[in-house]
Amino acid sequence: MTATKNFSEEDFIGVGGFDSVYKGILSNGEEIAVKRLSKNSRQGGEEFRNEATLIAKLQYKNLVAFLGCCSQGEERLLIYEYMPNKSLNYFIFDPKKRELLTWPKQFEIVMGIARGLVYLHQDSKLQIIHRHLKASNILLDKYLNPKISDFGLARIFRDDVEDAKTESWEHCKFYQLLTYVC
């Protein structure tokens, strides 16, 4: 509450399917992003537990850093590192910001996303299928380095499963993301 000035409008960053995101500043000056899950969503509780459980176990330079969570009564919060350049979405669909995405920078972003996916799929102790990869779930740090976020729909699959499948192709939007970036 203190870090976000009671979830003030001036600290509002954006909204997702089950949540709102606010910028916060801790007492030590560290900037954070606070994901506040909707109190009215029936689906939000499962996604909250899933995201907190998965992202807490995963640490990689191309994944958004998870700092903590809070669940008290109906209030559910996820705390992440703050990404000053928001999401790739803002750069793709804003003509002025799109100019900053030179071909070499686009290539760096795509390679960073690919490295994050390789980590999730084969290099981490848990093998994860993200299932909701899209431009708005690729956050950009101050140097425009990509970090995969939003693990609410992600699923763990076992090492002995050769062909992991998800229930819906719509959750897998990496192809569309590459199309926009390239």
* pTM reported for the whole predicted model: 0.80
For 90-151, give the DSSP string: HHHS-HHHHTT--HHHHHHHHHHHHHHHHIIIIISSSEEE-S-B-GGGEEE-TT--EEE---
Return the pLDDT at 172: 46
Return the pLDDT at 43: 58
Q: What is the pLDDT of residues 47-70, one digit of tens each?
A: 788 778 888 888 899 999 999 998
Dihedral sign from CA coordinates of 119, 146, 51, 180: negative
Domain boundaries, the chain: 9-81, 88-181
CATH 1.10.357.10 is right for the domain spanning 88-181 = no
The amino acid present at 12, given as its one-letter code, is F
User: Taking 80 as the threshold, does the pLDDT of residue 72 lie above it?
Assistant: yes
Topology adopted by domain 9-81: Phosphorylase Kinase; domain 1 (3.30.200)
Q: What is the pLDDT of residues 91-115, one digit of tens each?
A: 999 999 999 999 999 999 999 999 9
